[in-house]
């Protein structure tokens, strides 16, 4: 690169810069030869710009350099802007000098211009190249906006961001779906969620949130399951399920607004739209969900978990956001509080977007004896939870919280059908590389 430093991004090359010398840094997206003229489409993080090489005007050395170029070469271009109506954005750059900064072996495994579409597995095997596609760029910019908006929203609501251990000694979500790891002389596990730590932290911080990786040894190989995903967790002291549901729906509204207002360019690339939902979201008790499904001739009994096919039906009946509340206690994890007046029904909820479960949460049990009883009922050993149970002797406040699966949220915001599209390097049962 020598002393060259970028003066402009591609998207900043406009007719007003006519005659100005610029330095651009980026990658060769496409090359086109039209007799006496050669076009190089240079791509950087902001978009593309046309570099036009009129053979009879350019000096021999620069011309020879352009002949060496291949798709995805990383290059620097020093040149002069020329306003020209026919060029995209009304301007192009005539090169004075070109530097090759990185070569790309041909043929490339995928065509990022999208002229030859590739299967998702082929794309994921060449992920960094794939991430240069317009759609990928749009997805990860929206993902960034969602995260930025979420952090700001929760901070402004008084939550403080925490990071809890991802190497743990016992399960948080029950015994299943844990990844064991060799931890020196002992066995440890990758955290399935920050559940127990976030509950404990309400004792000292009252309102906490965490955005971090969680690991599930998921056998289900579906388009919405990963073995490693980012969970957006909150936990609040002196709160109930209803209190934290309000935070969840306000956050959903806020994020939709931010994406709608700030990501129009990206949404256009993805051919998708996002609407800001009205408040409050519907709260549909599990009982009513079962009734609705039966009316649709779907066979299901009270107490059964809701299968994917049933969620698809619910998504048709309730097309945007809605909560499913009052789940049977037996279907919820041990830490979810059973209702005082009817312990068969819990204060747990799920937040749905169409047919996809975006979040789940609830009021927590904060009575130690009841928690021990629930652990036993779910076949777990209170001894394995002794450090967690101890914190209930330090003045545990009543508390509630939820967790949103970030990737599922991004999937819905970007209109993608496969969760792997919205993860840089997805991990599932069969994919551990790249």
Q: Which of 23, 139, 345, 359 touches ligand AMO by CB under 6 A?
A: 359
Q: Which of 37, 41, 49, 40 is nearest to 11 (CA)?
A: 49
Q: For residues 107-137, b (16+ Cβ closer than 10 Å) or e, as one string?
A: eeebebeeeeebeeeebbbebebbbebbbbb
- Using rule CB under 6 A, residue 361 touches ligand AMO: yes
Residue spans of beta strands (DSSP E) within 200-260: 207-215, 228-237
> Which residue, 229 or 322, has its beta carbon nearer to ligand AMO?
229
Catalytic status, residue 89: no
Catalytic status, residue 152: no
Q: How far is the CB of 408 from ligand AMO (least distance, A)?
A: 4
Strands 160-161 and 74-83: unpaired
Q: Which of 10, 62, 164, 195 touches ligand AMO by CB under 6 A?
A: 195
User: Rg (Cα) of the chain, in Å, rounded?
Assistant: 27
Residue spans of beta strands (DSSP E) within 64-185: 74-83, 91-102, 160-161, 167-168, 179-183
**Plot region of 19 (φ>0 → left; ψ -120 to 50 → alpha; else → beta):** left
Q: Six-digit token pair at 381?
A: 């050993």
Q: How far is the CB of 48 from ligand AMO (least distance, A)?
A: 33
> Which residue, 48 or 200, has its beta carbon nearer to ligand AMO?
200
Site for ligand AMO, residues 270 to 309, rule: CB under 6 A: none
> Which residue, 237 or 359, has its beta carbon nearer to ligand AMO?
359
Are the CB atoms for 398 and 366 separated by under 8 Å? yes
- Using rule CB under 6 A, residue 138 touches ligand AMO: no
The string of DSSP letters for 362-430 reads: EEBP--HHHHHHHHHHTT--GGGGHHHHHGGGS-PPPEEEEEEEHHHHHHHHHT-SSGGGGSSS--BTT
- Using rule CB under 6 A, residue 388 touches ligand AMO: no
> Which residue, 200 or 231, has its beta carbon nearer to ligand AMO?
231
User: Could you give the string, one character per residue 215-254, with x where binding to ligand AMO holds by CB under 6 A and - elsewhere?
Assistant: -x-x------xx--x-x-x---------------------
Q: Which of 92, 236, 347, 407 touches ligand AMO by CB under 6 A?
A: 407
Catalytic status, residue 144: no
Q: Which of 206, 242, 288, 357 touches ligand AMO by CB under 6 A?
A: 357
Q: Please identify which of the residues 82, 123, 143, 216 carries the catalytic annotation.
A: 216
Binding site for ligand AMO (CB under 6 A): 173, 193, 195, 216, 218, 225-226, 229, 231, 233, 357-362, 401-403, 405, 407-408
- Residues annotated as part of the active site: 216, 218, 224-225, 357, 360, 408
């Amino acid at each position: 690169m020598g002393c060259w430093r970028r003066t402009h991004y591609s998207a900043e090359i406009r007719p007003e810069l006519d005659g100005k010398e610029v330095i651009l840094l980026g990658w060769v997206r496409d090359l086109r030869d039209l007799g006496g003229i050669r076009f190089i489409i240079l791509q950087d993080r902001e978009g593309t710009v046309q570099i036009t090489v009129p053979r009879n005007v350019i000096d021999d050395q620069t011309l020879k350099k352009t002949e060496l170029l291949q798709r995805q070469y990383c290059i620097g271009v020093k040149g002069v802007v020329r306003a020209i109506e026919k060029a995209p954005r009304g301007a192009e750059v005539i090169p004075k000098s070109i530097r090759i900064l990185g070569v790309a072996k041909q043929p490339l495994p995928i065509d990022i211009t999208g002229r030859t579409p590739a299967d998702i597995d082929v794309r994921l095997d060449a992920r960094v190249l794939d991430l240069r596609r317009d759609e990928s760029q749009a997805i990860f910019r929206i993902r960034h906006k969602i995260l930025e908006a979420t952090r700001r929203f929760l901070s402004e609501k008084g939550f403080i961001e925490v990071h809890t251990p991802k190497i743990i000694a016992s399960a948080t979500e029950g015994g299943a779906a844990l990844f064991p790891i060799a931890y020196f002389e002992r066995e440890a596990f990758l955290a399935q969620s920050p559940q127990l730590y976030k509950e404990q932290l309400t004792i000292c911080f009252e309102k906490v949130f965490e955005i971090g990786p969680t690991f599930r040894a998921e056998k289900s190989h579906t388009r919405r399951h990963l073995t490693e995903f980012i969970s957006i967790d909150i936990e609040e002291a002196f709160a109930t399920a209803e209190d934290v549901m309000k935070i969840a729906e306000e956050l959903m509204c806020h994020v939709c607004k931010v994406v709608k207002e700030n990501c129009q360019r990206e949404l256009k690339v993805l051919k998708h739209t996002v609407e800001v939902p009205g408040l409050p979201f519907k709260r549909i008790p599990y009982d009513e969900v079962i009734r609705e499904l039966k009316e649709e001739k779907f066979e299901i009994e009270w107490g059964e978990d809701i299968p994917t096919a049933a969620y698809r039906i619910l998504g048709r009946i309730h097309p945007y956001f809605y909560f499913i509340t009052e789940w049977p206690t037996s279907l919820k994890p041990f830490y979810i509080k059973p209702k005082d007046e009817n312990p068969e029904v819990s204060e747990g909820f799920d937040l749905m977007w169409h047919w996809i479960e975006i979040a789940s949460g609830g009021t927590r049990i904060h009575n130690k004896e009841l928690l021990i009883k629930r652990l036993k009922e779910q076949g777990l050993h209170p001894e394995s939870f002794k450090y967690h149970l101890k914190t209930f002797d330090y003045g545990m406040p009543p508390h509630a919280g939820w967790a949103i699966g970030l990737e599922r949220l991004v999937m819905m915001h970007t209109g993608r059908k496969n969760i792997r599209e919205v993860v840089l390097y997805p991990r599932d049962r069969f994919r551990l590389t790249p």
